[in-house]
Structure 1
Amino acid sequence: MIKVVYDIKVYREALKDIIKADDVVVELGCHVGNSTKILSELAPEGKIFALDNSPESVESMGKLCNEYKNVEFKKADVRLHETLEYVIKKIKTCDVLSVDLGGGYHPDTTFKVFFIWSSSLKPRDTIIRNRGLLDFIHSSKTEEMIKSEHGWLESSGKDGVPPRLKEFTLWSSKIK
């Protein structure tokens, strides 16, 4: 199942329906860990692997990792291929992929990150928090029906870990 939401309260409430006690969760965009704390409490027998590139995340996520032994944090840019490779080496499986990269901003980047990470990790469920994607979904109309039953797009996710993605460098001068 892939769930797209925008409101942070709806997002956090939806986690209660998605997360199981022993899930391995990869959280892209944990920021200071408010949702990470909820994830760690919902999956006390599982593992939360949280990533964020913001400087604000380091201190608060360090404290959270000390408080919750099922949380591991890495300060990293989730748009970089090296970050995806690092996570794949750290985890054996991913039950849930959580993508919250700014909530309302950059739906194109959010979708690209979702597509690549979910195609590589093949999670059971994915939750994405992004206003632009939600607006697109509710504003679109089609007679075609292509539907995935898992947390990744089955119609295009059979290739495994993709090669390095040079187009990310075209979108942001901050990526080296």
Structure 2
Amino acid sequence: MIKLSYDVNDYRRQISEAVNDGDCIIELGCHTGNTSKVILQNDVKLIALDNSPEASKEMDKLDLTFINADVRLHDTLSEVFKITQKCDILAIDLGGGYHPDTVFKVFYIWSSTFKPKHTFIRNRGLVEFYNSISEAKGDYKSNDGFLDSYKDSGIPPQIKEFDLWTPMLKK
């Protein structure tokens, strides 16, 4: 199941309704941990990532694995893959309202790698796109937290499109 929302309260409620004790959860864009705290109300393994300078101090106070890194980088994906090769829930909140193209690329790469049962995405641009569709042709539907057409792809190689996001990502 993939759920898309913009309101942060809806996003957190959707996640809390899906979390079960024992789940492995990857949270992309945890910032200072407000959603993480909701997730941690259950007995879970939480791997939270954010590259903002405010994140480290707050996330170090919580019982989780925190990685201060850019989720658009292949090295970051590889680092998490060394910790776990699968997750039950993938939660993505990368700025809430901005850059739907980036959010979708991150969703595609991370979900096709970790094959979550459930994915929750908070992004205004994707909600607006979804709500603006008047007709969709083709019978494509995925019932898990990743796109079914990429279920057997494994960890994807670094894609060339990463170079287009920002010059700061180039080494």
Match of 2:144 in 1: 150
Report how far residue 92 of structure 1 moved: 4.1
Match of 2:107 in 1: 114
Match of 1:75 among 68, 75, 80: 68
| 1:150-172 deviation digits (Å, cap 9, x = unpaired) | 00001133211111122112121
Aligned length: 169
Match of 2:24 in 1: 24
Mapped to 2, the partners of 1:157 and 1:133 lie a distance apart of 22
| 1:30-53 deviation digits (Å, cap 9, x = unpaired) | 000000011111x31x20000000
In structure 2, stretches of 5+ residues that fail to align are: none
Match of 1:5 in 2: 5
- Return the letter of the residue paired with 1:103: G
Mapped to 2, the partners of 1:157 and 1:106 lie a distance apart of 25
Mapped to 1, the partners of 2:96 and 2:139 lie a distance apart of 27
Mapped to 2, the partners of 1:53 and 1:132 lie a distance apart of 21
Mapped to 2, the partners of 1:63 and 1:97 lie a distance apart of 22
Match of 1:95 in 2: 88
TM-score (norm 2): 0.95
- Aligned pairs for 1:102-141 within 5 A: 102-140=95-133, 141=135
Match of 1:54 in 2: 52
Mapped to 1, the partners of 2:21 and 2:85 lie a distance apart of 17
CA contact (8 A) 2:94 2:123 kept: yes
In structure 1, stretches of 5+ residues that fail to align are: none
Mapped to 2, the partners of 1:92 and 1:47 lie a distance apart of 13
- Return the letter of the residue paired with 2:40: S
User: Among the aligned pairs, what percent are the same residue?
Assistant: 50
Moved more, 165-174 or 50-59: 165-174
| 1:138-161 deviation digits (Å, cap 9, x = unpaired) | 111214221001000011332111
Could you list the structure 1 runs, at least 4 aligned residues long, displaced by more than 3 angstroms after superposition. none
- Return the letter of the residue paired with 1:101: L
- Return the letter of the residue paired with 1:81: H
